[in-house]
Structure 1
Amino acid sequence: MNSHQQAPPDLSTLVNLFDLEPLAAARMTTMAYEYVASGAADEFTVRWNRQAFDAIRLNPRVLVDVSQLDTRLSLFGQELPYPILIAPTAFHKIMHPDGELATARGAGAASATYVISSFTTTPLDDIARVASGPLWFQLYMSNDRAYTRDLIQHAEAQGCRALCVTVDTPVLGARNRQQRVGFALPDGITTPLMPNAMAPSTSLTWHDVAWLKSVANVPILLKGILNPDDAELAVQAGVAGIIVSNHSGRNLDTVPATIDALPRITERVAGRIPILLDGGIRRGTDVLKAIALGASAVLVGKPICFGLAYGGAAGVTKVLDILRDELELAMALTGRATLADIDESVIWRSNR
């Protein structure tokens, strides 16, 4: 590292999440930065995730009493103080020496739920030991059912309260930027839950979801739903919830932005199970828009990674605090005192 990278991070200079990426990039290896920042192929979907949020206009109401804002919600039997969770992202030790331990500490300080990736670089029991906030676990299923069952039971034994099963990755996407830098984990960094043989499975089907339900004792969410027909099948399969996700544009390029896909999913699901969303969340207004269009909560990935890289646990907390504060500002300025008050009428429709 050069001298300016060794200076302690000044989190007070962070005004918003867009400020964060260049500061984090200066502290990251090229390989780590490319891993976090990149998407698949030409990265249209990465850009659309942001552009779609930016294109949605808000329709505020005035003269509403917003002196007492309430961002609390209940989700799968868990009380959350606000509707923002940490999305599962891999390889945290390439971003900061403390890796997932720092992420867990930062999440706890911000009272946020942390969804641990199957590709954690820190053992689950070590994460659970330092976590003061709720933990969920993200699962990549393998063809080895015994291994998958053991992994689920291990996550449950460490206190993980929900299982987010990634269903959009039978193979990895064309991650050209990672290919160009020859992405590989540095010496000494491993993924204890995912030995090298545990590649994504190309043969998983809805029958495997039924098997998952038979072995898991916590709510199951399917992560990676973009098609309303799949949302309907998820409801019929009896899962607890779905996460509308395009894998942050990292798998199949030119699929729609998640916020564009959300209304179709919301219409099909029709309130039968909770819907969460990730992909492109950078502002409190984004959270408001997602809730208005049918999401119960959102998950944030890349900004958490950049917060971790820049400021460790405190950087993670700062990202969540900024988003939470911005959400409250957006609620106050649109005249919505509670999450229940945020509905589609907060979205500006030009034909009305």
Structure 2
Amino acid sequence: MAEDRFGGLTALARPLLADLGRLVTGRGGPAAGPLNIEDVRALARRRSCALPFSYVDSAAEDFVTHRANLRSFEEVTLRPNLLTDVRERDRSVTLFGRTLASPVLLAPTGMPGIQHRDAEFAGAGAAHAAGTVFTVSMAASHSVTAIAEQCPGPLWFQLYPWGNADDFTPYVELAARAGCEALVVTLDTPVGGNREADRRTGFTMPPHLSRENIGEVVRHPVRFGRWVATLAAGPGIRMGNIAETGVTGGMNAVHQATKFEAKFVPGFSADELALVRRMWDGPLLVKGITTAEQARRAHAAGVDGVIVSNHGGRQLDGLPAAVRALPEVADALDGTGVEVLLDGGVRRGTDILKALALGARAVMVGRPWVWGLAAGGRPGVDTVLRILNTEVERDMALMGIRTLSELGRHSVNVPAAWAYAAPGGI
């Protein structure tokens, strides 16, 4: 008995002592790496200069919509299907004829080169390795041409619809030449949002000195120096697509960014969207849809997909959470063949299952992959996708589903307060 008892204690102590050794030597313990997306965000915050981190983390005005994106997922509860054999599970989805290994797509984000020199090369490479889509922003640090040459996976291209067709047409042509499979037109940015946090830090175009950024230099000179080195080693605030098309004129990075913002004209209408439809032969999506009425107008213009999104709460504060708007949009487009995606607030595998149950075919994540980039370059983005995909597979088993297509409204409970006037026909 004594031998068994002490032998058991020895077996228990051995891995604990090994963990202690790793912690003492700085190599960490069994949970040394990020376990979830919030851990990735925290790691990015520790490793990043405050200025670029706050740019990604900021939102418009009082952050009402930004907070709602996260909180509203908590209001949806799950209804598992137990007594089901789920030893084999398939998390793939099919979008526009292409089967993807994951329902998680990487959303377009502007100027990730301010976070890490690899920028979109890291994001697109991680997406390709995970069997999913990377969406190149019109304001990307590297040009879509360079990204396509470096990363062989499927690419989509995001277009800001400047009011003048002569200005945005070169970008449509650029995306086509690079072999992008789909075009995503962002509709919710006729003008820039009122992001007061960016104005306080001076992280605007052109940049300005402020108490916050001067204080960052004084408090964290080493971290600030690393960030300056990152800007020098990579694309920094340069916009690759802008430089390649030459639409804004000049190659100076600050000049590009300043002119880029000046090009926004609140004059993009359904007529211009129909023009883009005629120009683009592949799948056409619009991003920024939050109501049934918007969805119907987009369908009438001939789009193939809509992305339910409020721009991460970075544009108009007071919009509904993306997941709260999702059922209304999905119902309005039911039976039309238009694909519905969700962007905004996704941080967990359960968030993804809830979105798919409420009518999305797939989800997009923006801030999470940029946090991964800031935390560790390409390995950091790999980690973000691994975390989300692992959670999806685990949650599928816990939900009792073998494929994502088994999800539906029967899979969730939605608050009665989410009810809306049923949309009419298309």
Fold match, TM over 0.5? yes
Matches of 2:239 and 2:334, distance apart in 1 = 39
Is contact 2:308-2:326 (8 Å) kept?
yes
Q: CA deviation at 1:192?
A: 2.9
Which of these residues, 410, 413, 418, is aligned with residue 348 of structure 1?
Answer: 413
- 278-287 vs 104-113, greater mean Cα deviation: 104-113
Aligned-pair distance for 1:154? Answer: 1.2
The CA distance in 2 between the partners of 1:341 and 1:143, in whole Å, is 42
Which shows bigger deviation, 7-16 or 298-307?
7-16
Q: Residues of 1 paired with 2:80 and 2:408: CA distance?
A: 12
Question: 1:92·1:100 contact (CA, 8 Å) conserved in 2?
Answer: yes
User: Please, what is the CA RMSD of the aligned residues?
Assistant: 2.0
Contact 1:226 1:244 in 2 (8 A): yes
2:378 corresponds to: 313
Q: Deviations over 1:59-103 (max 9, x none)?
A: 112110111111222211221112110000111111101111121
Equivalent in the alignment of 1:86: 106
Q: CA deviation at 1:143?
A: 2.9
Give the match's secondary structure for 2:185: strand
Higher-helix-fraction structure: 2
Partner SS, residue 146 of structure 1: helix
Other structure's SS at 1:26 match: helix
Contact kept? 1:104, 1:313, Cα under 8 Å: no
Q: Does 1:189 align with 2:237?
A: yes
CA contact (8 A) 2:165 2:272 kept: no
Note the 1:26-45 alignment, pairs <5 A. Answer: 26-45=46-65
Inter-CA distance 173–182: structure 2 relative to 1 (3 Å threshold)? same
Question: Aligned pair count?
Answer: 345
* Cα distance, 1:193–1:132 mapped onto 2, change above 3 Å: closer
Unaligned runs of at least 5 residues, structure 1: 1-6
SS of the aligned residue for 2:94 comes to strand
The answer to whether the aligner puts 1:99 opposite 2:119 as a matched pair is: yes
* Cα distance, 1:34–1:349 mapped onto 2, change above 3 Å: closer
- Aligned position for 1:323: 388
- On the 8 A contact 2:76/2:414 being kept in 1, the answer is no
**Structure 1 residue 299 corresponds to structure 2 residue 364:** yes
CA drift of 1:271 comes to 3.5
Q: How does 1:104-119 map to 2 (within 5 A)?
A: 104-119=124-139
| Among 262, 267, 276, the residue aligned to 2:331 | 267
Q: Which residue of 1 aligns with 2:73?
A: 53
Question: Percent of aligned positions with the same letter in both sequences?
Answer: 39
Paired residue secondary structure (2:122): helix
1:235/1:8 Cα in 2 relative to 1: closer, same or farther (>3 Å)?
Answer: farther
Q: Is the 8 A contact 1:83 1:298 kept in 2?
A: yes
Structure 2 spans left out of the alignment, 5+ residues: 1-25, 208-230, 243-247, 249-255, 417-426
Query: Runs (4+) of structure 1 moved beyond 6 Å?
Result: 7-11
Report 1:1-352 matches (<5 A): 13-184=33-204, 189-194=237-242, 195=248, 196=256, 197-198=259-260, 199-272=263-336, 273-348=338-413
Tell me, what secondary structure is at the counterpart of 1:193? Answer: helix
Cα separation, 2, equivalents of 1:236 and 1:124: 29
| d(CA) in 2 for partners of 1:8, 1:158 | 42
Output the TM-score relative to the length of structure 1.
0.93
Rounded to whole Å, the distance in 1 between the matches of 2:300 and 2:395 is 35
